[in-house]
Amino acid sequence: MAEVRMDTLFAADYDEHWGFIDATHHEMLNRFLNLCPPNGTILDAACGTGKYWSIILASGRSVFGIDQSQQMLLKAQAKYPGVRVEKLGLQEMHFTDAFDGIICVDAMDKASRLLNLSH
C-alpha cells in the first residue's frame, strides 16, 4: 500500500513540494561524504527522486539508488540517467560490503506523510 501511495500521490510532484535540501541536511551530507573514499560509491536507500544525488555526484563519488516506488525511481532516472537504480524496499536490501557509504535520508518523513494520509 505504501508503494502505491508513493507512486500515485507523491511521485508526480514530489520535487516541487519536497525536493529542496535544507542547510542541515546539506551540511550533514557533506560531513558524511568527507568520511568516504574520494572515488567511492554511495548507496542512497529510499532514494526517492534522487534529491541528494547532485551533492554526491559533485563530490566525485558515484551513487546507487534503491526505492520501493517505481515512479520515484523513474523521476530520479530522468534527472540522472547515468545513475544505477533498483526497485527495492529497505526490508529487502541484500547488499554486503558493496558500498563505501550508505545514506537513508527522509525515509521516515515519507512514512509519516503516508500515515497522515491514511487517517
Does residue 72 sit within a domain?
Answer: yes
* 110 within domain boundaries: yes
Cell 511521485 belongs to which residue?
11
Identify the pLDDT of residue 16: 77
> Is 34 a member of any domain?
no
Q: Which domain holds residue 109?
A: 2-12+40-118
pLDDT band at 108 (very low <50, low <70, confident <90, very high): low
Confidence of residue 2 (pLDDT cuts 50, 70, 90): low
* pLDDT at residue 97 greater than cutoff 80: yes
pLDDT reported for residue 9? 62
Strand partners, 101: 42
Q: What is the pLDDT of residue 118?
A: 46
**Domain assignment present for 17:** no
Task: Quote the number of domains for the chain.
Answer: 1
Within a domain: 25 = no
pLDDT digits (tens, 9 = 90+) for 6-47: 665 667 777 677 778 899 999 999 999 999 999 999 999 999
CATH of the domain at 88: 3.40.50.150
Rounded percentage of the chain residues whose pLDDT exceeds 70: 80
Find all residues with CB under 8 Å of 69, minimum gap 6, and list them.
3, 6, 7, 10, 11, 48, 87
Is residue 23 domain-resident?
no
Q: Is residue 29 part of a domain?
A: no
Amino acid, res. 65: G
